[in-house]
Structure 1
Amino acid sequence: MSAITEWQETTIGALASVSRGASPRPIASSRWFDASSAVRWVRIADVNRSNGRTLLTTTQALSPDGIARSRHLAPGTLIMSIAATVGIPVITGVPTCIHDGFVALENLKVDQRFLLYLLKASEGMLRESGQSGSQMNVNTDIVKSLHVCIPVDLGEQERIAAALWDIDDLIAALERLIAKKQAIKRGMTQQLLTGGARLPGFSSSWEEVTWSDVVTPQPGNSQIKGRLSPRRNVKAQYPGFSASGQDVWLPTWDVEGDGVVISAVGSRCGRAFLATGRWSAIANTHILLPRSNRLDASFAMLYFNDEAFWIKGGSGQPFVQVGSSLSKRVKLPPLDEQRAIMNVLGDLDWNVNLLRSRLVKARAIKAGMMQQLLTGRARLPVGDAT
């Protein structure tokens, strides 16, 4: 086995040539831009929209005049933002020009991908070194003087970079899969809620109704303080509700089964929440409980949790116009088909949530890897010597 190599403290300036970009002036002039140009103009928004590793596209491109007045870079150049949003590095994947809010790091004496991750890990230090004004910025001298530690052996740098690149590949794959599953769910929801697609075993016609035909809106009650009766031990019947002497806070609703609770007044009016099982609640008149024996509560949430469903009024204090909102017409499947639809959509939600859990874990693993591998606290296995 090869010997474990040492790490050394150095500076970014010792590892790379650091040069600032340039901007054609006045920047608003159309003379500098050409949408058909192959040379792209990099803005921080483009970097933020990238995958954080390779920049493949931008919203703007430069004309020959614009290129001549900026800093032209070949594909495969490591760049980093130094103004406003400071310390965001990326490797260009196309011909680009950078303005003076970026620096290019060239003539590297270190593995490029390792340096990319090292700069990501150093973002906080760069920000602390930044010059405050109308916006945060750092200059090339600050970037050059940034102290870092690196393994002396290029092979170890490459192994660290490859491990981090692989975990980023996993994170990107999970993000794509989640987006795909969510798109599938949106499409299936649209089809299943309009009858454009029917589940196996269901063929009966859907009934066209208004929501008010199937829903009885039950508002909360501001008069929720009652008197304790000898014949009614309210506190025993509703554990958790407070009593003081003979006064007792009576639950507004006592519900057996699932229910949809809707915020009817205020900045969050139109938001719906699903309450499940056997439950009781104290609610004021700002809260609404639609009651129905023809609606599955989870199925109703698909409509009632969409703020666009609710017609709103008011200015300083918005509220939902319940009557007008529930006068809308809908084609409603039978209750058993509603539940079958929700089972299918619920399975998709379960899969998405499982993927999200894996994504959270992968991101946590990456954070730990960066903290350990980029400081030398943990070392990757060394391959056999050749």
Structure 2
Amino acid sequence: MMSNIPEGYKQTEVGVIPEEWEVKKLGDISEIIMGQSPAGNSYNQNANGIALINGPTEFTEKYPIKIQWTTLPTKLCKEGDILLCIRGSSTGRMNISNESYCIGRGVAAIRAKVNSDGSFLEFQVQNAVKKILVLTTGSTFPNIDGKSLKNIEIAVPPLPEQQAIASALSDVDALITALEQLINKKRDIKQGAMQQLLTGKKRLPGFSGEWEIKKLGEIADVKTGPFGSSLHERDYVVDGTPIITVEHLGERGVVHENLPMVSDFDKNRLNAYALQADDIVFSRVGSVDRNSLIKEKENGWLFSGRLLRIRLNTKYIFPAYLSYYFHQEPTKQRIRSVAVGQTMASLNTEILKNIEVAFPPTVKEQIAIAHILRDMDTEIEALEQKRDKYRALKQGMMQELLTGKTRLV
């Protein structure tokens, strides 16, 4: 039987890799320090002692942030160590230590040994996260112990190739980081613009006059979605008219993934709950400040019983303006504060109708404000798409470079 293994490669426990590569256990090429929580009475938020990392509370995109400190440190990590969550639903999340920290029992520090490149190890651990998660499958409280972590097998090239691989992947990481920073900057600018434009603190050239304040019920019709008895999961079909639920309410519009659908018969039966372009749909339970503006492509879709639908009188209000108004934090806080329910926050039509909204005296000014904010959203979205392309590129490169399919040396 002819072998499908290319010349210069070999079959190993981790798959086909180059002849000169080795399969090693994570514990052979790195020192693994399992965290240990210090005494509870040593915790403080006054920066006394050394910062404590419990994970994932302190984890960010790359480096941890300081939230609490301990005066009785137990296990310490060093600058450059890989920090890995090893307990609970966040198992597998990673950060990189940018200084020395005390690590609690929910975190392990992984430190490259001599003849192992730290950056290469970081990418290999990222690549091994799926293996780590498999080790926790079936557990009601996922966690991974030190022995299991040390026994994870990875493919290891000679040091010069490790360094070349790490350099290539680090270059892509740098591009992703730069885009993340730019996206965050643009988001901050947009938040500042919303605070100015949606409150009247800053008026656009050519506009004047006193802003109006009205209760939502004075300028809109508010309707609750169908009762549970009107629509069941058994009514869903593979191809039909989509139903929007709480999970589909995004900041910039409806999320078009995993939408339940109903047949034409049920669509006609539930026609009273059909949406129109420029409606706004609100979560009725749970995250009651979540809402989305309905666009033309969602015209005719249905909304679920867990939502409230707002249909505006466009003589007074431009729908996109009000959508932005509802997405500013002060308005969100106001909505959360009037919700009812002890175990789960909820809204009803009367509560929403009594929410006061402020808007410029002319629809023309409202349109101008909405267009400025929409242009900012468009710019942010384009940057996010570019970042996501680089992320996909990085994943592809990791599959090629960390298995030796593509060689750099």
- In 1, are the aligned partners of 2:199 and 2:358 still within 8 Å (CA)? no
Residue 242 of structure 1: how far off its partner (Å):
6.6
Q: Deviations over 1:348-372 (max 9, x none)?
A: 0110111111122121112112122
1 CA distance for matches of 2:301 and 2:133? 49
1 CA distance for matches of 2:388 and 2:280? 30
1 CA distance for matches of 2:69 and 2:341? 46
1 CA distance for matches of 2:83 and 2:288? 46
2:124 pairs with one of 115, 118, 123: 118
- In 2, are the aligned partners of 1:174 and 1:359 still within 8 Å (CA)? yes
1 CA distance for matches of 2:381 and 2:84? 34
1:206 pairs with one of 201, 207, 210: 210
The 3-state SS of whatever aligns with 2:126 is helix
1:259 pairs with one of 273, 278, 293: 278
Aligned to 2:183: 178
Larger radius of gyration: 1
**1:295 has 2:300 as partner:** no
Instruction: Mark the CA change 1:159 to 1:338 in structure 2 (over 3 Å): closer, same or farther.
Output: same
Aligned to 2:67: 59
Aligned to 2:134: 128
Aligned to 1:364: 392
How many residues align structurally? 344
Residue 190 of structure 1: how far off its partner (Å):
1.9
**1:188 has 2:200 as partner:** no
**Aligned Cα RMSD in Å?**
4.2
1 CA distance for matches of 2:136 and 2:298? 56
Instruction: Mark the CA change 1:325 to 1:143 in structure 2 (over 3 Å): closer, same or farther.
Output: same
1 CA distance for matches of 2:193 and 2:67? 33
2 CA distance for matches of 1:83 and 1:314? 32
- In 1, are the aligned partners of 2:279 and 2:309 still within 8 Å (CA)? no
2:371 pairs with one of 316, 339, 343: 343
Instruction: Mark the CA change 1:301 to 1:14 in structure 2 (over 3 Å): closer, same or farther.
Output: closer
Matched residue type, 2:56:
A
Question: What's the TM-score, normalizing by structure 2?
Answer: 0.68
Aligned to 2:79: 75
* 1:27-42 superposed matches below 5 A: 27-30=39-42, 35-37=46-48, 39-42=50-53
**Structure 1 stretches of 5 or more lacking a match?**
223-240
Residue 123 of structure 1: how far off its partner (Å):
1.8
Instruction: Mark the CA change 1:119 to 1:299 in structure 2 (over 3 Å): closer, same or farther.
Output: same
Q: Deviations over 1:322-354 (max 9, x none)?
A: 68526x363523122111111211110110111
- In 2, are the aligned partners of 1:260 and 1:290 still within 8 Å (CA)? yes
1 CA distance for matches of 2:31 and 2:298? 68
Aligned to 1:44: 55
Between the two proteins, what is the percent identity of the paired residues?
Answer: 23
**Structure 2 stretches of 5 or more lacking a match?**
1-7, 9-17, 227-262
Residue 159 of structure 1: how far off its partner (Å):
1.5
Matched residue type, 2:182:
L
- In 2, are the aligned partners of 1:259 and 1:291 still within 8 Å (CA)? no
Instruction: Mark the CA change 1:89 to 1:337 in structure 2 (over 3 Å): closer, same or farther.
Output: closer
- In 2, are the aligned partners of 1:44 and 1:81 still within 8 Å (CA)? yes
2 CA distance for matches of 1:105 and 1:212? 57
Using the TM superposition, name which of 336-345 and 101-110 deviates more: 101-110
Question: What's the TM-score, normalizing by structure 1?
Answer: 0.72
Q: Deviations over 1:146-186 (max 9, x none)?
A: 2211112x221112112222222222222222222122112
Aligned to 1:11: 25
The 3-state SS of whatever aligns with 2:294 is strand
Residue 272 of structure 1: how far off its partner (Å):
5.0
